[in-house]
Structure formats: structure tokens, C-alpha cells
Amino acid sequence: QVQLVESGGGLVQPGGSLRLSCAASGGIFRRYDVAWYRQAPGKQRELVARITSNGNTNYGDSVKGRFTISRDNAKNTVYLQMNSLKPEDTAVYSCNARWPPLDYWGQGTQVTVSS
């Protein structure tokens, strides 16, 4: 059983930056692919970024060039550095860890981009 706890969300002005953290406990974290998803009110959940157990990354089209995902296996933590934030980035951001057939989700953290 893996527990995921997200942190780092909050209110930021357009053009600002935030760094989200997804801290894991209870499993062999380095074996998991980890992804950040987000869901805005009235919209479907979308993939923001993923990092595999090997360190390969991929990003949603709307965040390419602005967001960076990374992992520190020694700290059992995955980070999402978000720069040049836009109002349309406002959403609940959730962390997902997957090592088939195992699949775990965190509770999510709110990110609000507004002036």
C-alpha cells in the first residue's frame, strides 16, 4: 500500500511559479511511474506530466515548456515545477503512482492562478 500526499498548492498571480510535491510512503517508490493530473470545475481530468521509473518524462500539450516534472527516489518524492502560470492552469492537481496492477492516488492540492 502506497500513500501519496501532495503539497505546494496555493494562490499565485498570472506569470508566477509554484512547485508541487508528491510525497510517497509505504512502497518501493522507485518502481512506480508517477504522474500529475489536474481537474478544473466542469472539465475532465487531464494529464499534466508523467515521469517513469526510468526517468523518462512526457507532458500535456498545454504545459509543455512551462512545467517540469522530476523525482528524487531517495526522498520518495516527485515534484512539479510550474512556471509562467496562467489562469487556465487553475485546478485541483493530483498525484498518481502506478506499477501495474497497483495504482494509487493522492487527495489533491488546489492551485489557483488569479490577480
Q: Which three cell numbers stand for residue 108?
A: 489533491
Predicted local distance difference test score (pLDDT) of residue 73: 94
- Nearest-Å Rg of the Cα atoms of the chain is 13
Over the stretch 70-92, which tens digit does the pLDDT of each residue have? Answer: 999 999 999 999 999 999 999 99
Q: How far apart are CA 86 and CA 16, in angstroms?
A: 8
Please determine, for residue 101, whether its predicted confidence score (pLDDT) is greater than 90.
Answer: yes
The rounded Cα 9 to chain-centroid distance in angstroms is 10
Over the stretch 6-65, which tens digit does the pLDDT of each residue have? Answer: 999 999 999 999 999 999 998 788 999 999 999 999 999 999 999 999 999 999 999 999
